[in-house]
């Protein structure tokens, strides 16, 4: 029986290994983590992450060929293939701070593998890492090898949160990068045979190591670039009276462009896009490619602009002050169908409104109060570092309360801001919400989920990203 061990039981490692286990009954899969609470949760009824379809997959194979454990060293020692899916945060200090990936966790995982291994291993990079990380890891392993042979593969994961299980069951492609030597090719074939249990052969792409590593950064950069492009258009739509949804549809029907990933929003979030682009920028700079770095940096700048533009809209529409005003925040996760808040646009928007002294009442169907308070207390780039290095919830807490539904959030509020496109926000009784609010009642829709015409009929003043402006907003001072 082939044994697989995955170091890191997070958003990527957990679902990916669960799907490998369910599709490959002949393979034993152990997912290990240093976090005791995380492993406990994986072994419980309530899993540590919310992901549609994940519960069923885990229930089918947990205890049979899928195990969650904190006994990292034993499972690594026993495995033939070791996936490494640990966090790679952005560095907060030192060389490359605010841009480069912090490979501390990766390096310690690699040293541990070298320490405990007694048989040859295939080590697979699963977490997104800077290009040429494989080479560094290879050096750590071979310089500490005690005669054991290691093959390093890069096998970046392309799943998106909220659709992870469906993405893993039916991936557009699986990418495997390896050394172009006979041992390298053999390792690639071994990993390929794992995926071949359910992925058609023509969808398994094999490349050299550096192509695989760079493709992951490039794919995320291209995806994020589409959003920044459509968001940049949304600002121009508001200025001219065009409707961004109509423009996106018209653009997307060109088969060279395609219809997906063209939804204007208050800004992209998630653990990958910003981090990977910053990383790409850093790699370009290190290679003397200043123009290329500048090109990609602009994608992040437009994303930041989109978030601050939204805050400015809220403040300027409400007579240039939100001090002491109650603002309902609907949705806090970075997209629907996940409880993940990493890099969510809601954090920057909330911080902006708190900075202007607003009182926020926040509701999200999947995010806990504790998580929201912690997110609002964190500084940039701290979110992916261990909890003991993070500050406690501070000043923000006084201006923020977290409530159990959208009606409670909006009761007595001056404005409602939609931050996440949860389905339930489309079907809310906006008439009831209007009745309970202060007048004039404002809705600022950062996700184009509300029916603008219907809400205006009810009496709301409505702002929706990239849509023709409410006459009220047109009269307000221009947004910087
Ligand atoms: C373009 C648009 O495609 C068309 O829809 C619009 O109506 C007019 O402008 P055109 O300029 O005739 O058409 O040719 P196109 O095929 O788009 O190529 C434009 C340039 O991009 C060419 O120099 C082409 O060589 C280059 N190109 C195109 C690339 O370098 N790489 C590509 O992948 C595609
Ligand atoms: C992304 C990539 O899609 C995935 O391939 C990679 O493995 C990890 O990073 P994820 O961050 O989980 O996945 O979600 P994604 O669906 O890509 O959304 C990212 C952000 O972009 C979200 O905040 C989402 O709301 C936003 N978005 C997405 C838009 O604003 N408009 C769109 O049209 C699409
Ligand atoms: P991702 O979204 O990439 O899956 P997460 O932060 O959700 O990232 O998961 C990474 C996991 O890796 C965390 O649960 C963390 O505890 C774990 N981890 C980090 N370093 C190690 C290590 N050296 N050994 C085992 N687990 C580790």
- Helical segments of 287-330, H only: 290-317
Asked if 386 contacts 373 with a C-beta cutoff of 8 angstroms, the reply is: no
Which residues does residue 358 pair with via DSSP β-bridges, in sequence order? none
Task: Report how far residue 258's alpha carbon sits from residue 262's, in angstroms, rounded to the nearest whole number.
Answer: 9
User: Does 217 show up as a binding residue in the annotation?
Assistant: yes
Domains delineated in the chain: 2-199 (3.40.50.720), 222-474 (3.40.50.720)
Give the residue numbers marked as catalytic: 272
What is the model's pLDDT at position 130? 87
Cα 261 to averaged position of ligand 1 atoms, centre (Å): 22
| Cβ neighbourhood burial of 414 (10 Å; 0-12, 13-18, 19+) | buried
Ligand nearest to the CA of 226: 2
Task: Report how far residue 244's alpha carbon sits from residue 264's, in angstroms, rounded to the nearest whole number.
Answer: 7
Summarised one tens digit per residue, pLDDT across range 187-243 is 999 999 999 999 999 999 999 999 999 999 999 999 999 999 999 999 999 999 999
Closest-lying ligand 2 atom to the alpha carbon of residue 334: 23
* Ligand 2, atom 28, residue with closest C-alpha: 261
Read off φ and ψ for residue 401, nearest 5 degrees: -125, 150
**15 to 382, 386, 464: CA distances (angstroms):** 24, 21, 35
Q: 15 is written with which tokens?
A: 């679902």
User: Does 310 show up as a binding residue in the annotation?
Assistant: no
- The number of CA neighbours under 13 Å toward the Cβ of 212 is 28
User: Does 258 show up as a binding residue in the annotation?
Assistant: no
User: Does 104 show up as a binding residue in the annotation?
Assistant: no
Closest-lying ligand 2 atom to the alpha carbon of residue 338: 12
Q: What is the pTM of this model?
A: 0.95
Q: Which residues of the chain have pLDDT under 70?
A: 386-396, 477-480
Cα 391 to averaged position of ligand 2 atoms, centre (Å): 28
* Ligand 3, atom 11, residue with closest C-alpha: 8
Ligand nearest to the CA of 275: 2
Closest-lying ligand 2 atom to the alpha carbon of residue 420: 25
What is the model's pLDDT at position 145? 84
Ligand nearest to the CA of 256: 1
What is the model's pLDDT at position 389? 56
Ligand nearest to the CA of 251: 1
Protein residues with CB under 6 Å of any ligand 2 atom: 157-161, 220, 223, 227, 261-263, 265, 268-270, 272-273, 334-335
Asked if 396 contacts 375 with a C-beta cutoff of 8 angstroms, the reply is: no
- Helical segments of 241-289, H only: 244-252, 273-286
User: Does 266 show up as a binding residue in the annotation?
Assistant: yes
Cα 162 to averaged position of ligand 2 atoms, centre (Å): 10
User: Does 51 show up as a binding residue in the annotation?
Assistant: no
Supply the ipTM of this predicted assembly.
0.95
For the CA atoms of 174, 166, 80, 180, the dihedral, rounded to the nearest 10 degrees, stands at 0
Residue to mutate, 265, 345, 383, ligand 2, most ligand atoms under 8 Å from C-beta: 265
* Ligand 2, atom 34, residue with closest C-alpha: 261
Protein residues with CB under 6 Å of any ligand 3 atom: 7-13, 32-35, 38, 72, 85-87, 105, 108-109, 127, 271
What is the model's pLDDT at position 477? 61
């Amino acid at each position: 029986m082939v044994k697989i061990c995955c170091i890191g039981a997070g958003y990527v490692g957990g679902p990916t290994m669960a799907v490998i286990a369910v599709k490959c009954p002949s393979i034993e899969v152990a997912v290990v983590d240093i976090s005791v609470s995380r492993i406990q949760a994986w072994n419980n009824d309530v899993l540590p992450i919310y992901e549609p379809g994940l519960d069923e997959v885990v229930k089918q194979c947990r205890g049979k060929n899928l195990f969650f454990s904190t006994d990292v060293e034993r499972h690594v020692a026993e495995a033939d293939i070791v996936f490494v899916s640990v966090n790679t945060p952005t560095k907060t200090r030192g060389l490359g701070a605010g841009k480069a990936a912090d490979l501390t966790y990766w390096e310690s995982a690699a040293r541990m593998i070298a320490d405990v291994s007694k048989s040859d291993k295939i080590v697979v990079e699963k977490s997104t890492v800077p290009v040429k990380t494989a080479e560094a890891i290879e050096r750590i392993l071979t310089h500490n090898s005690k005669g054991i042979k290691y093959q390093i593969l890069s096998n970046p994961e392309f799943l998106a949160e909220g659709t992870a299980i469906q993405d893993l069951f039916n991936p557009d492609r699986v990418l495997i990068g390896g050394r172009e030597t006979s041992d390298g090719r053999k390792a690639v074939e071994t990993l390929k045979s794992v995926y071949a249990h359910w992925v058609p052969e023509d969808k398994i792409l094999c490349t050299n190591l550096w192509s695989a590593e760079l493709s992951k950064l490039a794919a995320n950069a291209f995806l994020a670039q589409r959003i920044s492009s459509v968001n940049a258009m949304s600002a121009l739509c508001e200025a001219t009276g065009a409707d961004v949804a109509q423009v996106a549809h018209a653009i997307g029907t060109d088969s060279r462009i395609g219809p997906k990933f063209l939804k204007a929003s208050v800004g992209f979030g998630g653990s990958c896009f910003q981090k990977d682009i910053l990383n790409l920028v850093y790699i370009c700079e290190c290679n003397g490619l200043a123009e290329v770095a500048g090109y990609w940096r602009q994608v992040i700048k437009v994303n930041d602009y989109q978030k601050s533009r939204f805050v400015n809209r809220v403040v300027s529409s409400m007579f240039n002050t939100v001090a002491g005003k109650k603002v309902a925040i609907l949705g806090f996760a970075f997209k629907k169908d996940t409880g993940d808040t990493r890099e969510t646009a809601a954090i920057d928007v909330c911080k902006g409104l708190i900075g202007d002294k607003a009182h926020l009442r926040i509701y999200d169907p999947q995010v806990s109060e504790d998580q929201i308070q912690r997110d609002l207390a964190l500084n940039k780039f701290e979110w992916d570092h261990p909890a003991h290095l993070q500050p406690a919830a501070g000043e923000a807490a006084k201006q923020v309360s977290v409530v159990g539904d959208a009606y409670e959030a909006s009761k007595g509020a001056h404005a409602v801001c939609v931050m996440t496109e949860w389905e339930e926000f489309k079907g809310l009784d906006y008439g009831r919400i209007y009745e309970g609010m202060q007048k004039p009642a404002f809705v600022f829709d950062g996700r184009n989920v509300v029916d603008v015409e219907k809400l205006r009929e009810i009496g709301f003043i409505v702002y929706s990203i990239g849509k023709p402006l409410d006459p009220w907003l047109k009269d307000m001072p221009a947004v910087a």
